[in-house]
Structure 1
């Protein structure tokens, strides 16, 4: 038996083991077969999007590069792997590789905040086969989740409009503490104004933002006998925070606050409504407090915000949690496209992949995406095209420093603005054409024919 560990929290020094077993067993097999150091190219892409998504916003590259920077195995980790007994027949050279493990390859990636479409590589790894194989699980975990959150956040921002204040409230519903931090980062990078996650905000150089909970209102009311005492107490310490007014009777609370404002006893920065008919309640609150910002929350997403806007709701901001950090996943895959300069492809039913190292050529006209062309790496851009995949790490060393959150946020905004209106629709959107270059299609047919001959 492997000794159990009671502490299931992870730190960055343990990330090398945060992988699926078969990554390690395959690496061991590669060593035994003498091909571990053959140069391999893997591409990470998404075949099919979540329902009603016509684009994705690439996100998570920063964490991928940090992970690759720190890739190594300690003696304790190697000892733990040996203790499992799984690797009893592994060659000694496998352990030698782990002892000196360091990522030495190249990374090509689209910049974070870039809109991408089906079957387009978000990133490509070119590295010794055992290294490129070993890192698959962590890369997919990072890119898939942050890309999902960034895309949903960008859609929400697009529907809510530029002026709305949007805060990320998803920590309590995220799938893990680590996931909560990544979700906060992706949401901010895709256009949200702030996060209630204190650790995430401070790590990102942002100011945490939030309001108050029903517990404070209930606690102070129970002791002091008045909901209004709760409002006064909280505002005394946090005068710029919004007051949560729906614990008991939203309209009644609003009327009392109106009296306080009109008498000069109170200045209210904002109010928050978390339940009930948000559209109708917001209109009533506006009628009593016309100068007060109205903030709403409660299982909101882009469809709910769209409904509220169509109803003429009087809302200035939104708190988005559960439906941002959960939901239908982005099912990105990581496939070998070349080994030792030999192009490879998968021929499984419904899981075909294109062979060879590729580049995305994007055609822009007057700031609008006209179409994308998926071609081979060595092809050159045509008129009005530019290349999306950039070399961000070479021989295991970064070629650029991490980009500021505001830079990525602006790129996301520009990406959304470059999409046709029909593609930005949240229901039945129109997909942008991704053409396959003549050279790539010829290579696909050639590799498919070779595989057919071999299999027959």
Structure 2
């Protein structure tokens, strides 16, 4: 056994080993069976959306491509794998493959910020089988999580409206330090204005945003008089909002209102983190009519909608736990073609469509009208009543022979695409209550291929049983 690494830090050099064991054992098996170099196509998609969701926003492609670009195995990593004893019977060629590892395949993907639905591929890997297999775990990890966060952020932005400030406060609740960075990125790309995560903000070229905590008030004003705490914080950070619910929200508001009215201070904003946010925000607004009011504390899209219905006077939200946690996006990564032979999974409840596919999206007056899932080389246009300029192909090639074809997009461009994509969705898809999925048709050729492939599977299964 190797010595335990108590730091458990992660660097790009570790990426290739950040995988499930069975990816490596299957890779070794492919080598032994001499099929490791067969051209394989895997598609990443979701079978169903999280409860209450009518769409997803594709996210995480940038980190997926960075991973593929850095796909390597060092001699130390190979030695560590050998030392486990698990691969004692693996063919020697497996180790030479790992030693020379480099991703050499093609990647097709939906652009980040695009609304997608069940059974629509977010990404497709076309590569030698052993490569396409080994990259599954990392791709699912980054795309599943960032897609969840971007979708939740987009839903919150959609409900809150374009003028409401939305701040990402989720670092302390994210599932790991790495996840907190990804969550901040996905939240900004999904439409939020800023993050409190300092490292994430600086890495992303943004200015971090935040207020203050109750600890500062209690530390400076331990006996309950908040004025000293407010004065101290304003002395160093005059533009920062003040947290006003440590002891008595309305008493703190009256104190600040008096000082503002007397010209003793300029106040940019206040934050409420507890209590009846509707009533408190209305009372704060009556006392501080020109001051921005932020709210935090288990906020999500449903809570924002409730506060709006009840006429809360809130100009912005700090959103943490309900943004970075929750029901996961359950993306899967399935083989759809091997050595030019279409394949599919036919298990009950987990059927997949064979062949390499394209998503054809038809818009009418800038509104989503119909999605088709078809084969890449199919003329889907002739199967519809729509005009040529009404449709787009969502999947584009982003990697060819291991080389990235496009520069990484900035967050502003992705956030703009997110906003436009959400705006194309009809109200019934965007609804928080019982959203209705859009109609998606399976193209003629894909339907024929699916039936032909299923018949072949069933015929083969009967032959085995007989």
Determine if the alignment matches structure 1 residue 420 to structure 2 residue 426: yes
Aligned to 2:258: 259
Task: Report how many residues are paired.
Answer: 455
Matches within 5 A, 1:20-59: 20-59=20-59
Determine if the alignment matches structure 1 residue 390 to structure 2 residue 369: no
Deviation, 1:96, is: 0.3
Matches within 5 A, 1:288-327: 288-327=287-326
**SS of match in other structure, 2:40:** strand
Aligned to 1:83: 83
Give the conservation status (yes or no) of the 8 Å contact 1:41–1:338: yes
Aligned to 2:385: none
Determine if the alignment matches structure 1 residue 64 to structure 2 residue 70: no
Structure 2 CA distance for aligned equivalents of residues 286 and 429 of structure 1? 34
Determine if the alignment matches structure 1 residue 334 to structure 2 residue 340: no
Give the conservation status (yes or no) of the 8 Å contact 1:244–1:273: yes
Matches within 5 A, 1:333-352: 333-352=332-351
Determine if the alignment matches structure 1 residue 411 to structure 2 residue 417: yes
CA RMSD, Structure 1 to Structure 2 (Å): 0.8
Give the conservation status (yes or no) of the 8 Å contact 1:44–1:123: yes
Aligned to 1:442: 448
Structure 1 CA distance for aligned equivalents of residues 173 and 391 of structure 2? 41
Aligned to 1:188: 188
Unaligned runs of 5+ in 1: none
Aligned to 1:119: 119
Structure 1 CA distance for aligned equivalents of residues 126 and 397 of structure 2? 11
Structure 2 CA distance for aligned equivalents of residues 212 and 385 of structure 1? 48
Structure 2 CA distance for aligned equivalents of residues 55 and 432 of structure 1? 9
Question: 1:235-256: per-residue Cα shift (whole Å, max 9, x none)?
Answer: 1111110000000000111011
**SS of match in other structure, 2:171:** coil
Aligned to 1:73: 73
Question: 1:99-137: per-residue Cα shift (whole Å, max 9, x none)?
Answer: 000000000000000000110000000000000000000
Deviation, 1:210, is: 0.2
Unaligned runs of 5+ in 2: 382-387
Question: 1:162-210: per-residue Cα shift (whole Å, max 9, x none)?
Answer: 1000000000000000000000000000100000000000000000000
Give the conservation status (yes or no) of the 8 Å contact 1:381–1:387: no
Deviation, 1:379, is: 1.1
Aligned to 2:384: none
Deviation, 1:381, is: 4.9
Give the conservation status (yes or no) of the 8 Å contact 2:107–2:126: yes
Deviation, 1:4, is: 2.2
Structure 2 CA distance for aligned equivalents of residues 133 and 434 of structure 1? 29
Matches within 5 A, 1:217-296: 217-222=217-222, 226-296=225-295
Aligned to 1:162: 162
Deviation, 1:226, is: 2.6
Structure 2 CA distance for aligned equivalents of residues 103 and 93 of structure 1? 17
**SS of match in other structure, 1:172:** helix
